[in-house]
A and B are shown apart, each in its own frame.
Chain A
């Protein structure tokens, strides 16, 4: 059973770079899945940040694209998020998630989520 675990600093200074890693266990990051980052500001809803495939192909949310980099490390079975020039508005719980497709039907969804990690942007 695939499990995801986010890790990284819980506090980042304004204008700094937020860096998080999502470790994949119980399965391979090189499987036929895309891997996503999603965030949730305190008391608010969910926002998709971007995704990566094990080949290194990425797609980003246009609202964050200029500041986001998602990368994959197949040797460590993990993928990472970097968000630059952070402000208080980037304070959120950050989740990593696995995207899956039901082959016969083409249904697409996020079926495995990490527990999330809280990142606070503050000096």
Chain B
């Protein structure tokens, strides 16, 4: 089973600042199967990035994803008030459990 680790656990930043979130896998993950989700309190997760670097429909271009192998990054170039949330990385593998999620990074207001 591939284990995803996210860091930091919490990121305290101000609006307008740049956020860099890390997702590390216990073994190599195909970039095709690495996604990022945003979750706000009381809401379902929302797909942000798929294929490690492709933005989902309607996602602003301040969100970008990069990485390969075992190290992936989600970057929010300039934080807007609505970006303060929890972010999860997810990978899809070939053997069960087919989907695994990282523990999440909370981006909160400094």
List residues of A whose CB falls within 8 A of some B CB. 36, 38, 45-48, 51, 59-63, 65, 95, 102, 105-111, 113-116
The reply to whether A115 and B44 contact each other, CB–CB distance below 8 Å, is: yes
Kindly state whether residue B103 has any CB partner on chain A within 8 Å: yes
User: When the two chains form their complex, are residues A45 and B50 in contact, meaning their CB atoms are under 8 A apart?
Assistant: no
**Residues A109 and B101 in contact in the complex (CB < 8 Å), given A46-B88, A60-B96, A115-B44:** no
Is B102 within 8 A of A45, CB to CB?
yes
Tell yes or no: B45 within 8 A of A by CB.
yes
Which residues on the B side are within 8 Å of A61 (C-beta)? 96-97
- In the complex, what distance in Å separates the CA atom of A36 from the CA atom of B14? 36
Nearest A residue to B36, CB-CB: A109
Minimal beta-carbon separation of A19 from chain B (angstroms): 20
- Cβ-defined partner of B50 (8 Å) among A62, A109, A113: A109
Residues of A contacting B: mostly? strand
Count, chain B residues at interface, CB 8 A: 25
Nearest B residue to A47 via CB reads B101
Give Cα A123–Cα B68 distance, bound, in whole angstroms: 47
On whether the beta carbons of B32 and A105 are closer than 8 Å, the reply is yes
Nearest Cβ in chain B — how far from A85, in angstroms?
A: 19
From the candidates A45, A51, A59, A110, name the one contacting B35 in the complex (CB within 8 A): A110
Pick the contact of A111: B56, B96, B98, B99 (CB < 8 A): B56
Asked whether, in the complex, the Cβ of B33 is within 8 Å of the Cβ of A95, the reply is no
Can you name the residue of chain A whose Cβ is closest to the Cβ of B46?
Answer: A113
CB < 8 Å neighbour of A110 from B90, B97, B103: B90
